[in-house]
Amino acid sequence: MTSLKIYKDGLNAEVDFLLKVQFSLDEKRYSVEKTTYEFDPVDYVIKKDGVLLCYVELKTRFIDLSKYDSLMIGSVKLKNIQKLPIKTYILWDSKDAFHYIQFKHELLEVNSTYINNSKVSFVPKIMCKTSYDAFIEEIVSL
């Protein structure tokens, strides 16, 4: 797969996911917006009645996540998410699985390694929840 195709597929997945979340929430009270600054550590902001509720970082994967015990995310991304002032959710979405976790400082302590000169953290799946519906319920309960 070429890097351009992966990039395009990733952008399409981000738009699809944004629409899925927006339609899962009460559209009159909630808005899901794509961040626009190139270096934002997250992909979306979710607002309720115009008030910022949380941030969401989406990690779209085109592999079978069920084969792995952990989920990868850039260590720098985690450090940048740590600086955000409100709750942030990290989601891994693939055609076979969905995992999410609310950012917590313990994520900075998970195993990590260098891949292609970038430090990557491995979030154990057992730290994550696996239900899209539970994710939506969590957003509604904020």
In three-state secondary structure terms, 29 is coil
Q: Can you give the C-alpha Rg of the chain in angstroms? A: 15
pLDDT tens track for 10-59: 566 777 888 889 889 988 899 999 998 888 999 999 999 999 999 999 99
d(CA 100, CA 72): 12
pLDDT tens track for 102-142: 999 999 999 999 999 999 999 999 999 999 999 999 999 99
Task: Kindly tell me if the per-residue pLDDT of 87 is higher than 50.
Answer: yes
d(CA 86, CA 55): 7
DSSP states along 64-125: -GGG-SEEEEEHHHHHHHHT-SS-EEEEEE-SS-EEEEE--GGGGGS-EEEETTEEEEEEEG
Look up residue 28 and give its amino acid. Answer: K
pTM over 0.85: yes
What pLDDT does 39 receive? Answer: 86
- Name all domains of the chain by residue range, CATH numbers in brackets: 3-140 (3.40.1350.10)
In the beta sheet, which residues pair with residue 77?
none
Q: What is the number of alpha carbons within 13 Å of residue 116 lying toward its C-beta?
A: 1
pLDDT tens track for 46-57: 999 999 999 999
139 to 21, 26, 40, 88: CA distances (angstroms):
10, 11, 21, 11
In three-state secondary structure terms, 6 is helix
